[in-house]
Chain A
Amino acid sequence: MNLDPKIPSGPLAEKWDNHRFEMKLVNPANKRKYSAIVVGTGLAGASAAATMAELGYQVTALCYNDSARRAHSIAAQGGINAAKNYPNDGDSVYRLFYDTVKGGDYRSREANVYRLAQVSNNIIDQCVAQGVPFAREYGGYLDNRSFGGAQVSRTFYARGQTGQQLLLGAYSALMRQVGLGTVDLHTRHEMMDIVLIDGHARGVVVRDMVTGEVQSFAADAVILATGGYSNVFFLSTNAIACNVTAAYRAYKKGAAFANPCYTQIHPTCIPVSGDHQSKLTLMSESLRNDGRIWVPKAKDEKRAPNDIPEDERDYYLERKYPSFGNLSPRDISSRSAKEACDDGRGVGPTGYGVYLDFKDAINRLGKSTIEARYGNLFQMYERITGEDPYQVPMRIYPAAHYTMGGLWVDYNLQSTIPGLHVLGEANFSDHGANRLGASALMQGLADGYFVIPYTIGNYFATAKTEKVTTEHPEFKRAEEEVRGRIDSLLALDGSRTVVSIHRELGKIMWDYCGMARNEQGLKKALELIPELRQEFWENAKVVGDGENLNSALERAGRVADFLEFAELMCHDALNRNESCGGHFREEYQTEDGEAKRNDEDYTYVAAWEYKGVGNEPVLHREPLEFENVQLQTRSYK
């Protein structure tokens, strides 16, 4: 397997410029002769489809939602980073690059991250021009805030709905192209497989979710922008239908899957309230600016939080990390909450929750100030839990949120399959082992607006593939396979619902491959997952037919892929004998419980090659070379 990252030559700051000059161009008159399929219409997919269509390429866009506007990018709250340095507080492209590499615990590719920091400024310009209503100061200029523990204010935001506004910007650009007839958009179409001809990605097989029809689309290149796989945990902050299917299908067809064990657990989510729970809701991290996190000192504490005296409370983050305290990074905060709960000191009906208390802040600043800062979040919390956080401390618990791992891509965002490009959360490239707040939106839009439109031209100009149609036997074969798979899912007539199996898988993954992992647990998971997979194929029940909208069938297809993918995650977590970023191996920690990286042996990207269901995948390594940043230990004491 060829893992050449194709990093351009020259000094870091000049690589992207050099590369843009070196890449081959497609003559303007010839652009309409090239076509691409974009799967997914989130930030990365919508921006890529719209921009490529603007350039003149023929674009087909697909999404599973009823409208391109509903992709889960819409749920991002906090903001988007850019190195504009508008507040004049010492930010620069290099600083954003440095912070991102460090935040990723030195497991990302320098050149990619630098490019990301470079184009971050163009993204803000582009979004403003589209009419994205970012927050402004009274003088009329853009407002910034600091976010996720960054020491500079570089986050642009639109109230608590930044993701929504950016997505609607990209969606409107996409709608404009659809209206002009340059993008052929198919909503409620789910990608079922990818089609390779002569080793190149040449199209996809999709299922029309309304009519059940299985059909194909052919093109000169395929672009996946299909998001992350947090739903492998069943409960996550992802939307219900978010899935790994598209990426996993590509992996099965030969694309390497990189660093699947890098998953981010977000510390401030509303805790699970019972077995009925279908998803977890994130509360903005900004709450930690004023809230104090604590658990009772005693195990099995039964008193109401306000009845527990001050000296019987453990403000564990303030105790363990005096300098960062409640603002410690996501991975550290999450892990500490888990430790407290595993110790039997968790709160709430399930015992999996910690208090986030605003009493001191309300006493210090007054209720009205707290209301002005967090009013909408408090309201949301009350809506979901029925408790008033002005009176009773909030209860929070970590939840699976974002996945840094994804399909392996080179500097051009091309996977190991020629012609198959991967953007946004679906690829692995920029966040290393841990993503910083307000960086996901930046990466999605960078890939879609400013990277793929250039690199795809180079691919078209150099690949010189023959034209194919969906009449090609490879398409027919893939369609038959998909139909066969749908039929076998519909034939499942056991005694368990697919959701119950998904929930069980989620529990296995959360327990053994979640916030903290160890060799024994991962091995256990690798025994349990195949058993559960067998249970699925023997005992799951799928009702309905394939000719109508069938939500049970859709769910079954996605869960079937999660059941295979979960094993890959565990293999990767087992292989990485170190703790870094979102991947914490209990065996590899310092005496005081901090993550211990092993730069000697693991400064590489683990890219996995598929070898059949149930067979161990093959590991390929892309060594990471750091020429500009010196590897250090992250410390927040």
Chain B
Amino acid sequence: MAALVRFLQSTILSKVVVAVTGLFMVLFLLGHMTGNLQMYLGQETMNVYAETLQGLGGLLWVIRGALLLFLVLHVILTLRLKFLSMSARPEPYAVKNYVRATLTSRTMVWSGVMLSLFIVYHLLHFTVKATNPAYGGLFDAAGRHDVYSMVILGYSNVLISMVYIAAMILLGFHLFHAIESMFQTLGINHEKYNPIIHGLSVTLSTIIVVGFIMIPVGVLAGWIALPAGVIVL
């Protein structure tokens, strides 16, 4: 434990942890997005997928626990780094201009904080269903929890959809700097491969954002529709 604390005291190693946890979360996002896009394949496929996930039992909790740990580490370490950085310049510049640093890269901590708040809301909304307890009572014809309908019901509210879409755009900005940055922190920077890394960063962030947004957009546009027999609450 003491070794771990010492490890994390170094700014560089903290960042390595931030990068690695970020990497896992990106992988999770890719999986989550691919899974969610099954909404376009209809109620049956989506609900089977959801049931399979639930059927993982203990393993599901291990994954959830790991994700939570990654998230907590990611947030705590970046906040600590942020406080260090803030104390590293007590007297601000009267005028400050940037040549290369982008708005996205300069606001990572804020986009991060907002995304954390969004995650809390998202969990309360669809996982714990605290905001909408009625979602727990949705079942499909086969008696499975009707995740498909729940999602559609959730996004049918334009305001909620807008929140999700806005959060995903924010996520996009966050990832746009994060993915490329992760390579640098992990020590991967080579003239020959930098354009590829940059391309990968742009492509991945775009895919994730567009993929997620397609669901509320699909619901609002009517591309994904409620099956017959589900009562709109």
- Do A and B share a direct contact in the complex (Cβ within 8 angstroms)? no
